């Protein structure tokens, strides 16, 4: 073997686990990208749980597919000729350092995908030091998450306006009392819409155990065992206002009465006036809405279409990102979500001005495929892929991405 042959043989790169899972190299061999996790999740958890994680609004999940296609269409032109260095991808968001410009989007119902899901997500985020947003409709309380993930805990609030926002303000008070530093108000659910795959599986609006559901659970023994360990999914934050012994459907009915509409600008102002930490609005698409939020003193915006779960006619957030960055990027932190499934997507978002990309469904597929180990594996994959993308593009750090030449065919101009 001469020297040239030796150089031509690619070396196996050691894999570093940000989630501190010694099994990462083994998991990586079986699930080398998020799409493998999605396929495994489909077979590994009850059908209703997979449909909940995977389905969008409208015909054939058109909005979800648009989010993916819009990201896929973005091309970044690399620069070569400099030696690659191990690219650092730490970021600072609202005065705190995180390992990567990647975070866990708020989701009601990770515990449907895998019992205890909220806790597994929060634990993995804390280990890897990436932001974790607990949803108002999540399966763990603000107090529980503050104990598990004290350094990375952001709290997402839906509009709970009855009795002059008594419940919403109480949740915010509780979050502040346990040290949460970042509040996220979601603006993009003004009405309830239909997700056909949830309706067809019978879990939209209420959860009734029937023979079909039981048969699905019987085919997913790992999920059933986790159910035995962690208990039935619950709206933990809201449950405390209904009563400790309330049934799941009583809590769901309560949530449907209380969770109504999206925050008005006056209401955003009300929360801004009371919340002392950083405040973000999530679900912005129009640059003028971002402008309005920033004028009210909001520190950050998340450009999002709720991952294609509201209506399929919304544009992909990545296509609005440059316009929002142009509008408010010098005065506020602009972030995005919807459709992010890989480190290349994270890098595309960062290159177009997002300070961080948040990830929803990919984390659910990780949970569905691998249970407790899933969220950490998704984090490890995404950070690894982000670093690889930086190296491949000739970027020595994240900021180098901003000077690349970019083809962005779907970018919306205002």
Interaction of residue 387 with ligand FMN, rule CB under 6 A = no
SS3 73: coil
Q: What DSSP state is assigned to residue 202? A: T
Interaction of residue 309 with ligand FMN, rule CB under 6 A = yes
Interaction of residue 306 with ligand FMN, rule CB under 6 A = yes
Interaction of residue 137 with ligand FMN, rule CB under 6 A = yes
Interaction of residue 281 with ligand FMN, rule CB under 6 A = no
Strand partners, 333: 300
Q: Output 287 or 368, the one with its CB closest to ligand FMN.
A: 368
Interaction of residue 293 with ligand FMN, rule CB under 6 A = no
Interaction of residue 338 with ligand FMN, rule CB under 6 A = yes
Q: Which of 47, 66, 361, 408 binds ligand FMN (CB under 6 A)?
A: 361
Burial 129-155 (b: 16+ CB within 10 A, else e): bbbbbbbbbbbbbbebbbebbeebbbb
Pairing mode, if any, of strands 333-337 and 300-303? parallel
Interaction of residue 51 with ligand FMN, rule CB under 6 A = no
Residue 377 in contact with residue 27, Cβ under 8 Å? yes
Task: Please tell me which residue in 44, 47, 306, 377 is annotated as part of the active site.
Answer: 306
Q: How many helices (H) and strands (E) does the chain have?
A: 20, 12
Q: Identify the sign of the CA torsion 231, 232, 237, 241.
A: negative
Interaction of residue 135 with ligand FMN, rule CB under 6 A = yes
Asked about 47 being catalytic, the answer comes back as no
Residue 121 in contact with residue 152, Cβ under 8 Å? no
Beta strands in 362-412 (DSSP E): 405-407
Interaction of residue 237 with ligand FMN, rule CB under 6 A = no
Shortest spacing between CB 64 and ligand FMN, in angstroms: 7
Q: Which of 360, 371, 374, 375 binds ligand FMN (CB under 6 A)?
A: 360
Q: Identify the sign of the CA torsion 311, 312, 317, 320.
A: negative
Q: For residues 193 and 180, what is the distance between their CA atoms, to the nearest angstrom?
A: 31
Q: Output 51 or 299, the one with its CB closest to ligand FMN.
A: 51
Shortest spacing between CB 221 and ligand FMN, in angstroms: 23
Interaction of residue 307 with ligand FMN, rule CB under 6 A = yes
Shortest spacing between CB 2 and ligand FMN, in angstroms: 48
Q: For residues 403 and 54, what is the distance between their CA atoms, to the nearest angstrom?
A: 35
Stretch touching ligand FMN by CB under 6 A, among 37-45, 83-91, 265-273, 305-313: 305-313
Interaction of residue 337 with ligand FMN, rule CB under 6 A = yes
Q: Structure tokens of 375?
A: 């969220």
Tell me which residues are annotated as active site: 306
Binding residues for ligand FMN, rule: CB under 6 A, are 52-53, 67, 105-109, 135, 137, 156, 186, 282, 304, 306-307, 309, 337-340, 359-361
């Amino acid at each position: 073997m001469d020297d040239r042959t030796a150089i031509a043989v690619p070396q196996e790169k050691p894999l570093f686990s940000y989630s501190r899972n010694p099994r990462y190299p083994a998991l990586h061999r079986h699930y080398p990208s998020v799409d493998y996790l999605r396929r495994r999740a489909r077979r590994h958890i009850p059908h209703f749980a997979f449909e909940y994680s995977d389905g969008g609004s409208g015909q054939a999940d058109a909005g979800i597919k648009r989010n993916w296609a819009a990201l896929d269409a973005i091309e970044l032109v690399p620069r070569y000729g400099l030696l690659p260095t191990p690219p650092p991808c730490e970021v600072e968001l609202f005065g705190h350092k995180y390992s990567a410009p990647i975070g866990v989007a708020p989701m009601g119902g990770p515990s449907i995908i895998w019992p205890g899901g909220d806790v597994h997500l929060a634990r993995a985020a804390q280990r890897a030091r990436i932001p974790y947003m607990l949803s108002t409709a999540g399966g763990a309380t603000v107090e529980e998450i503050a104990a598990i993930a004290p350094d990375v805990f952001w709290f997402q609030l839906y509009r709970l306006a009855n009795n002059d926002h008594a419940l919403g303000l109480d949740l915010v008070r509780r979050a502040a009392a346990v040290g949460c530093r970042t509040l996220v108000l979601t603006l993009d659910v003004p009405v309830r819409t239909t997700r056909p795959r949830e309706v067809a599986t019978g879990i939209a609006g209420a959860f009734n155990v029937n023979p079909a559901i039981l048969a699905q659970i019987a085919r997913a023994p790992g999920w059933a065992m986790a159910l035995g360990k962690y208990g039935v999914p619950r709206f933990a934050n809201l449950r405390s206002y209904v009563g400790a012994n309330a049934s799941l459907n009583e809590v769901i009915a309560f949530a449907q009465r209380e969770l109504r509409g999206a925050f008005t600008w006056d209401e955003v102002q009300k929360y801004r006036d009371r919340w002392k930490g950083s405040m973000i609005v999530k679900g912005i698409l129009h640059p003028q809405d971002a402008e309005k939020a920033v004028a009210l003193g909001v520190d950050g915006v998340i450009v999002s279409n709720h991952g294609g779960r509201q209506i399929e006619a919304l544009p992909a957030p990545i296509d609005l990102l440059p316009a929002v960055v142009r509008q408010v990027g010098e005065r506020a932190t602009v972030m995005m979500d919807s459709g992010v499934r890989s480190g290349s997507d994270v890098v595309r978002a960062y290159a177009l001005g997002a300070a961080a990309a948040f990830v929803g469904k990919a984390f659910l597929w990780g949970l569905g495929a691998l249970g407790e180990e899933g969220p950490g594996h998704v984090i490890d994959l995404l950070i690894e892929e982000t670093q690889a993308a930086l190296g491949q593009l000739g970027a020595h750090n994240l900021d180098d991405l901003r000077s690349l030449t970019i083809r962005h065919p779907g970018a919306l101009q205002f």
